[in-house]
Chains A and B, each alone.
Chain A
Amino acid sequence: MIALILRDIRRGYAGGGATLVVIFFLLTATLFPFAIGPDPALLARVGGGVVWAAALLAALLPVERLVAPDLEAGVLDQIAVRGRSMAAVAAAKIAAHWIAFAPPLMLAAVVAAALLDLSAETLERVEIGLAIGTPGLAALAVATAALTASFRGAGALAGLVMLPLAVPLLIFGAGALDGGEGAFKLLGAVSLLLVAGAPFVAGAAMRTAME
Protein backbone atom coordinates (compact mmCIF):
# COMPACT_ATOMS: atom_id res chain seq x y z
CA MET A 1 0.00 0.00 0.00
CA ILE A 2 2.93 2.34 0.75
CA ALA A 3 4.14 1.74 -2.80
CA LEU A 4 0.71 2.67 -4.12
CA ILE A 5 0.52 5.85 -2.04
CA LEU A 6 4.01 6.92 -3.14
CA ARG A 7 3.16 6.21 -6.76
CA ASP A 8 -0.04 8.26 -6.59
CA ILE A 9 1.68 11.17 -4.86
CA ARG A 10 4.30 11.17 -7.58
CA ARG A 11 1.61 11.06 -10.23
CA GLY A 12 -0.21 13.90 -8.46
CA TYR A 13 2.81 16.19 -8.67
CA ALA A 14 4.09 14.92 -12.02
CA GLY A 15 2.98 16.58 -15.22
CA GLY A 16 2.24 19.86 -13.47
CA GLY A 17 -0.83 18.46 -11.71
CA ALA A 18 -0.31 20.33 -8.45
CA THR A 19 0.82 23.49 -10.25
CA LEU A 20 -2.35 23.45 -12.31
CA VAL A 21 -4.51 23.22 -9.20
CA VAL A 22 -2.65 26.11 -7.58
CA ILE A 23 -2.89 28.33 -10.67
CA PHE A 24 -6.58 27.53 -11.12
CA PHE A 25 -7.20 28.29 -7.45
CA LEU A 26 -5.43 31.65 -7.62
CA LEU A 27 -7.15 32.53 -10.89
CA THR A 28 -10.57 31.80 -9.41
CA ALA A 29 -9.73 33.85 -6.33
CA THR A 30 -8.61 36.81 -8.47
CA LEU A 31 -11.82 36.68 -10.51
CA PHE A 32 -13.88 37.89 -7.58
CA PRO A 33 -12.33 41.38 -7.27
CA PHE A 34 -13.06 41.85 -10.97
CA ALA A 35 -16.63 40.69 -10.53
CA ILE A 36 -17.62 42.49 -7.34
CA GLY A 37 -15.34 45.50 -7.56
CA PRO A 38 -12.01 46.32 -5.94
CA ASP A 39 -13.36 47.81 -2.70
CA PRO A 40 -10.83 46.63 -0.06
CA ALA A 41 -13.35 46.60 2.78
CA LEU A 42 -15.79 44.49 0.79
CA LEU A 43 -13.04 42.13 -0.38
CA ALA A 44 -11.72 41.69 3.13
CA ARG A 45 -15.22 40.79 4.28
CA VAL A 46 -16.02 38.23 1.55
CA GLY A 47 -12.41 37.14 0.97
CA GLY A 48 -12.42 34.16 3.30
CA GLY A 49 -15.51 32.74 1.64
CA VAL A 50 -13.98 33.39 -1.77
CA VAL A 51 -10.91 31.35 -0.80
CA TRP A 52 -13.15 28.48 0.28
CA ALA A 53 -15.23 28.54 -2.91
CA ALA A 54 -12.05 28.68 -5.00
CA ALA A 55 -10.59 25.76 -3.05
CA LEU A 56 -13.71 23.71 -3.74
CA LEU A 57 -13.54 24.41 -7.47
CA ALA A 58 -9.81 23.67 -7.54
CA ALA A 59 -10.46 20.33 -5.82
CA LEU A 60 -12.64 19.35 -8.79
CA LEU A 61 -9.85 19.83 -11.27
CA PRO A 62 -7.81 16.64 -10.74
CA VAL A 63 -10.84 14.36 -10.31
CA GLU A 64 -10.65 12.99 -13.85
CA ARG A 65 -7.06 11.89 -13.36
CA LEU A 66 -7.52 10.09 -10.04
CA VAL A 67 -9.16 6.80 -10.98
CA ALA A 68 -10.11 6.72 -14.68
CA PRO A 69 -6.54 6.35 -16.05
CA ASP A 70 -5.86 3.47 -13.65
CA LEU A 71 -9.07 1.76 -14.66
CA GLU A 72 -8.27 2.13 -18.34
CA ALA A 73 -4.63 1.05 -18.07
CA GLY A 74 -5.56 -2.10 -16.14
CA VAL A 75 -3.77 -0.94 -12.98
CA LEU A 76 -6.86 -1.65 -10.86
CA ASP A 77 -7.14 -5.13 -12.40
CA GLN A 78 -3.54 -5.90 -11.54
CA ILE A 79 -4.00 -4.70 -7.96
CA ALA A 80 -7.19 -6.73 -7.57
CA VAL A 81 -5.46 -9.86 -8.88
CA ARG A 82 -2.97 -9.41 -6.06
CA GLY A 83 -5.80 -9.83 -3.62
CA ARG A 84 -5.98 -6.25 -2.38
CA SER A 85 -9.38 -4.89 -1.47
CA MET A 86 -10.55 -1.96 -3.55
CA ALA A 87 -11.53 -0.11 -0.38
CA ALA A 88 -7.88 -0.22 0.72
CA VAL A 89 -6.84 1.01 -2.71
CA ALA A 90 -9.34 3.86 -2.40
CA ALA A 91 -8.01 4.74 1.06
CA ALA A 92 -4.47 4.83 -0.35
CA LYS A 93 -5.65 7.05 -3.17
CA ILE A 94 -7.33 9.42 -0.72
CA ALA A 95 -4.15 9.68 1.36
CA ALA A 96 -2.03 10.23 -1.75
CA HIS A 97 -4.43 12.77 -3.23
CA TRP A 98 -4.55 14.70 0.01
CA ILE A 99 -0.76 14.86 0.23
CA ALA A 100 -0.49 15.93 -3.41
CA PHE A 101 -3.26 18.50 -3.26
CA ALA A 102 -3.65 20.01 0.22
CA PRO A 103 -0.15 21.45 0.91
CA PRO A 104 0.08 23.33 -2.42
CA LEU A 105 -3.46 24.61 -1.92
CA MET A 106 -2.73 25.81 1.60
CA LEU A 107 0.40 27.59 0.39
CA ALA A 108 -1.57 29.16 -2.43
CA ALA A 109 -4.19 30.31 0.10
CA VAL A 110 -1.53 32.57 1.61
CA VAL A 111 -1.02 34.22 -1.77
CA ALA A 112 -4.77 34.45 -2.31
CA ALA A 113 -5.15 36.06 1.10
CA ALA A 114 -2.66 38.73 0.06
CA LEU A 115 -4.52 39.30 -3.22
CA LEU A 116 -7.82 39.70 -1.38
CA ASP A 117 -6.34 41.76 1.44
CA LEU A 118 -7.40 39.32 4.17
CA SER A 119 -6.37 40.01 7.75
CA ALA A 120 -3.83 37.72 9.42
CA GLU A 121 -6.58 36.47 11.67
CA THR A 122 -8.87 35.50 8.78
CA LEU A 123 -5.96 33.85 6.99
CA GLU A 124 -5.23 31.80 10.10
CA ARG A 125 -8.84 30.66 10.25
CA VAL A 126 -8.85 29.85 6.55
CA GLU A 127 -5.69 27.77 6.93
CA ILE A 128 -6.99 25.89 9.97
CA GLY A 129 -10.26 25.29 8.15
CA LEU A 130 -8.45 24.04 5.04
CA ALA A 131 -6.26 21.74 7.14
CA ILE A 132 -9.40 20.21 8.66
CA GLY A 133 -11.52 20.26 5.52
CA THR A 134 -9.12 19.13 2.79
CA PRO A 135 -9.03 15.45 3.90
CA GLY A 136 -12.80 15.43 3.41
CA LEU A 137 -12.42 17.13 0.04
CA ALA A 138 -9.78 14.60 -1.01
CA ALA A 139 -12.03 11.71 0.06
CA LEU A 140 -14.93 13.21 -1.85
CA ALA A 141 -12.75 13.72 -4.93
CA VAL A 142 -11.60 10.08 -4.96
CA ALA A 143 -15.15 8.79 -4.40
CA THR A 144 -16.44 11.00 -7.23
CA ALA A 145 -13.57 9.92 -9.46
CA ALA A 146 -14.40 6.28 -8.81
CA LEU A 147 -18.12 6.76 -9.39
CA THR A 148 -17.59 8.52 -12.71
CA ALA A 149 -14.50 6.58 -13.87
CA SER A 150 -16.27 4.44 -16.45
CA PHE A 151 -18.11 7.32 -18.13
CA ARG A 152 -16.83 9.30 -21.08
CA GLY A 153 -16.57 13.01 -20.42
CA ALA A 154 -16.80 12.46 -16.71
CA GLY A 155 -15.52 15.94 -15.87
CA ALA A 156 -18.84 17.74 -15.99
CA LEU A 157 -20.62 14.86 -14.32
CA ALA A 158 -18.00 14.84 -11.56
CA GLY A 159 -18.85 18.45 -10.77
CA LEU A 160 -22.54 17.60 -10.49
CA VAL A 161 -21.79 14.73 -8.12
CA MET A 162 -19.13 16.35 -6.03
CA LEU A 163 -20.10 19.97 -5.51
CA PRO A 164 -23.45 19.36 -3.73
CA LEU A 165 -21.77 16.87 -1.42
CA ALA A 166 -19.02 19.37 -0.67
CA VAL A 167 -21.49 22.05 0.41
CA PRO A 168 -21.33 21.09 4.12
CA LEU A 169 -17.54 21.55 4.04
CA LEU A 170 -18.04 24.95 2.44
CA ILE A 171 -20.69 26.02 4.95
CA PHE A 172 -18.73 25.05 8.03
CA GLY A 173 -15.38 26.11 6.58
CA ALA A 174 -16.65 29.55 5.70
CA GLY A 175 -18.76 29.64 8.87
CA ALA A 176 -15.66 29.25 11.00
CA LEU A 177 -14.29 32.52 9.57
CA ASP A 178 -16.64 34.59 11.69
CA GLY A 179 -15.20 33.15 14.85
CA GLY A 180 -17.63 30.33 15.53
CA GLU A 181 -15.59 27.66 17.30
CA GLY A 182 -18.40 25.18 16.76
CA ALA A 183 -17.96 25.49 13.03
CA PHE A 184 -14.46 23.96 13.20
CA LYS A 185 -15.86 21.01 15.12
CA LEU A 186 -18.68 20.52 12.62
CA LEU A 187 -16.18 20.91 9.78
CA GLY A 188 -14.04 18.23 11.40
CA ALA A 189 -17.08 15.98 11.81
CA VAL A 190 -18.07 16.30 8.14
CA SER A 191 -14.48 15.77 7.05
CA LEU A 192 -14.12 12.65 9.21
CA LEU A 193 -17.41 11.26 7.96
CA LEU A 194 -16.28 11.68 4.36
CA VAL A 195 -12.85 10.18 5.04
CA ALA A 196 -14.42 7.20 6.83
CA GLY A 197 -17.15 6.55 4.27
CA ALA A 198 -15.50 7.42 0.97
CA PRO A 199 -13.10 4.41 0.76
CA PHE A 200 -16.02 1.98 0.83
CA VAL A 201 -18.09 3.93 -1.69
CA ALA A 202 -15.07 4.40 -3.96
CA GLY A 203 -13.99 0.78 -3.52
CA ALA A 204 -17.42 -0.55 -4.48
CA ALA A 205 -17.57 1.83 -7.44
CA MET A 206 -14.16 0.72 -8.70
CA ARG A 207 -15.14 -2.94 -8.35
CA THR A 208 -18.29 -2.33 -10.39
CA ALA A 209 -16.39 -0.35 -13.00
CA MET A 210 -13.96 -3.24 -13.47
CA GLU A 211 -16.66 -5.78 -14.26
Chain B
Amino acid sequence: MKNRRPVGMEPIAHRAKLFWILLTLAIYGFLLGSMTYFLTPFTRVWCYIAAPMTVIMLYLVLYYLPALHQSMCYLLDDRQLLVQGGIFSHKKQVMNREQILYVSVIKTPAYYLLGTCTLLVQAAGARIVLGWLPRRRADALLCRLSEREEGTL
Protein backbone atom coordinates (compact mmCIF):
# COMPACT_ATOMS: atom_id res chain seq x y z
CA MET B 1 0.00 0.00 0.00
CA LYS B 2 1.34 3.37 -0.95
CA ASN B 3 2.49 5.44 2.07
CA ARG B 4 0.25 8.52 2.06
CA ARG B 5 1.91 10.25 4.98
CA PRO B 6 4.41 12.99 4.16
CA VAL B 7 7.78 12.99 5.89
CA GLY B 8 7.86 14.70 9.27
CA MET B 9 4.17 14.33 9.97
CA GLU B 10 2.81 12.35 12.92
CA PRO B 11 -0.03 9.87 12.44
CA ILE B 12 -3.37 10.24 14.14
CA ALA B 13 -6.32 7.87 14.48
CA HIS B 14 -4.37 4.74 13.58
CA ARG B 15 -5.81 2.95 16.60
CA ALA B 16 -9.24 3.70 15.28
CA LYS B 17 -8.50 1.59 12.20
CA LEU B 18 -8.97 -1.69 14.08
CA PHE B 19 -12.16 -0.39 15.70
CA TRP B 20 -13.73 0.64 12.34
CA ILE B 21 -12.68 -2.61 10.65
CA LEU B 22 -14.27 -4.66 13.42
CA LEU B 23 -17.38 -2.48 13.29
CA THR B 24 -17.62 -2.94 9.51
CA LEU B 25 -17.29 -6.72 9.90
CA ALA B 26 -19.92 -6.72 12.66
CA ILE B 27 -22.39 -4.75 10.52
CA TYR B 28 -21.66 -7.01 7.56
CA GLY B 29 -22.23 -10.09 9.72
CA PHE B 30 -25.48 -8.66 11.07
CA LEU B 31 -26.83 -7.83 7.61
CA LEU B 32 -25.79 -11.18 6.21
CA GLY B 33 -27.35 -12.99 9.16
CA SER B 34 -30.61 -11.04 8.81
CA MET B 35 -30.72 -11.77 5.10
CA THR B 36 -30.12 -15.48 5.73
CA TYR B 37 -32.95 -15.47 8.30
CA PHE B 38 -35.49 -13.98 5.88
CA LEU B 39 -34.28 -15.48 2.58
CA THR B 40 -33.15 -18.98 1.69
CA PRO B 41 -29.33 -18.89 1.49
CA PHE B 42 -27.47 -19.38 -1.77
CA THR B 43 -30.53 -18.79 -3.92
CA ARG B 44 -30.32 -16.36 -6.80
CA VAL B 45 -31.87 -13.43 -4.87
CA TRP B 46 -29.68 -14.08 -1.85
CA CYS B 47 -26.57 -14.15 -4.05
CA TYR B 48 -27.55 -10.95 -5.90
CA ILE B 49 -27.70 -9.10 -2.57
CA ALA B 50 -24.83 -10.85 -0.75
CA ALA B 51 -22.27 -10.50 -3.55
CA PRO B 52 -22.14 -6.68 -3.83
CA MET B 53 -22.36 -6.43 -0.03
CA THR B 54 -19.30 -8.68 0.26
CA VAL B 55 -17.40 -6.72 -2.37
CA ILE B 56 -18.12 -3.44 -0.53
CA MET B 57 -17.07 -4.97 2.79
CA LEU B 58 -13.81 -6.32 1.33
CA TYR B 59 -13.05 -2.93 -0.28
CA LEU B 60 -13.62 -1.13 3.02
CA VAL B 61 -11.67 -3.60 5.17
CA LEU B 62 -8.75 -4.29 2.86
CA TYR B 63 -8.25 -0.91 1.20
CA TYR B 64 -10.34 2.12 2.17
CA LEU B 65 -10.19 2.05 5.99
CA PRO B 66 -6.46 1.30 6.21
CA ALA B 67 -5.68 3.89 3.52
CA LEU B 68 -7.88 6.50 5.22
CA HIS B 69 -6.24 6.07 8.59
CA GLN B 70 -2.78 6.08 7.10
CA SER B 71 -3.50 9.37 5.32
CA MET B 72 -4.54 11.14 8.55
CA CYS B 73 -1.62 12.97 10.12
CA TYR B 74 -0.61 16.25 11.75
CA LEU B 75 2.38 18.53 12.10
CA LEU B 76 2.87 21.05 14.90
CA ASP B 77 5.70 23.56 14.66
CA ASP B 78 6.38 27.02 16.11
CA ARG B 79 4.04 28.76 13.72
CA GLN B 80 1.12 26.54 12.95
CA LEU B 81 -0.81 23.32 13.35
CA LEU B 82 -1.37 21.39 10.12
CA VAL B 83 -3.79 18.47 9.94
CA GLN B 84 -4.45 16.56 6.74
CA GLY B 85 -6.23 13.42 5.62
CA GLY B 86 -8.86 11.87 3.41
CA ILE B 87 -9.06 9.65 0.32
CA PHE B 88 -11.87 10.88 -1.92
CA SER B 89 -11.92 14.30 -0.33
CA HIS B 90 -8.44 15.19 0.82
CA LYS B 91 -8.31 18.13 3.24
CA LYS B 92 -5.43 20.17 4.63
CA GLN B 93 -6.40 22.22 7.66
CA VAL B 94 -4.05 24.93 8.86
CA MET B 95 -4.38 26.96 12.01
CA ASN B 96 -1.87 29.56 13.19
CA ARG B 97 -0.71 28.91 16.71
CA GLU B 98 -1.30 32.48 17.78
CA GLN B 99 -4.98 32.13 16.80
CA ILE B 100 -5.53 29.17 19.11
CA LEU B 101 -7.65 30.26 22.06
CA TYR B 102 -7.96 27.02 24.01
CA VAL B 103 -7.82 23.24 23.73
CA SER B 104 -10.33 20.70 25.07
CA VAL B 105 -9.62 17.04 25.74
CA ILE B 106 -12.51 14.64 25.20
CA LYS B 107 -12.48 11.17 26.72
CA THR B 108 -15.12 8.58 25.92
CA PRO B 109 -15.23 4.91 27.00
CA ALA B 110 -12.67 4.34 24.18
CA TYR B 111 -10.13 6.05 26.47
CA TYR B 112 -10.34 3.16 28.90
CA LEU B 113 -10.67 0.43 26.25
CA LEU B 114 -8.16 1.59 23.64
CA GLY B 115 -6.23 4.32 25.49
CA THR B 116 -7.26 7.05 23.01
CA CYS B 117 -8.82 10.50 23.38
CA THR B 118 -9.73 13.48 21.18
CA LEU B 119 -8.26 16.98 21.20
CA LEU B 120 -10.50 19.87 20.16
CA VAL B 121 -8.38 22.89 19.18
CA GLN B 122 -10.48 26.07 19.25
CA ALA B 123 -9.85 29.38 17.49
CA ALA B 124 -12.27 32.23 16.74
CA GLY B 125 -14.66 30.99 14.07
CA ALA B 126 -12.93 27.64 13.54
CA ARG B 127 -11.78 24.45 15.23
CA ILE B 128 -9.69 21.40 14.45
CA VAL B 129 -10.48 17.93 15.78
CA LEU B 130 -7.66 15.48 16.41
CA GLY B 131 -9.40 12.23 17.14
CA TRP B 132 -8.27 8.84 18.41
CA LEU B 133 -4.93 10.08 19.70
CA PRO B 134 -2.99 7.71 21.95
CA ARG B 135 -2.80 9.01 25.48
CA ARG B 136 0.91 9.93 25.60
CA ARG B 137 0.86 11.70 22.27
CA ALA B 138 -2.31 13.60 23.24
CA ASP B 139 -0.66 14.66 26.50
CA ALA B 140 2.48 15.89 24.72
CA LEU B 141 0.44 17.71 22.08
CA LEU B 142 -1.78 19.32 24.68
CA CYS B 143 1.27 20.59 26.57
CA ARG B 144 2.77 22.14 23.44
CA LEU B 145 -0.52 23.72 22.32
CA SER B 146 -1.65 25.14 25.61
CA GLU B 147 1.70 25.39 27.44
CA ARG B 148 0.52 23.20 30.28
CA GLU B 149 2.63 20.70 32.22
CA GLU B 150 3.02 17.11 31.03
CA GLY B 151 0.84 14.55 32.77
CA THR B 152 -2.26 16.69 32.62
CA LEU B 153 -4.24 13.84 31.10
Q: Do A and B bind each other?
A: no
A: which residues have CB within 8 A of B? none
B: which residues have CB within 8 A of A? none
